[in-house]
Amino acid sequence: MENKLKKVQVDGFVPIELAKEFENLAFNKYGPKHGYRGKALTDALNDWIEKTKSEN
């Protein structure tokens, strides 16, 4: 099974609490049966980036 992960560029480092939050968001959105660790983590990170941009 080939992993197709999209590269995401972030300024600086992501704190571990934030990484856990992304994983929880991804798990809740896709569940354990849908390979959530790749695509969904990317989606969760992109959603968070968009949310942060709109708040600033």
Q: Kindly indicate the confidence band of residue 5, based on its pLDDT and cuts at 50, 70 and 90.
A: very low
Which pTM was predicted? 0.37
pLDDT of residue 13: 61
3-state secondary structure the chain: CCCCCCCCCCCCCCCHHHHHHHHHHHHHHHCCCCCCCCHHHHHHHHHHHHHHHHHC
The per-residue pLDDT for 44 is: 74
* Per-residue pLDDT at 19: 74
Average pLDDT over residues 5-31: 66
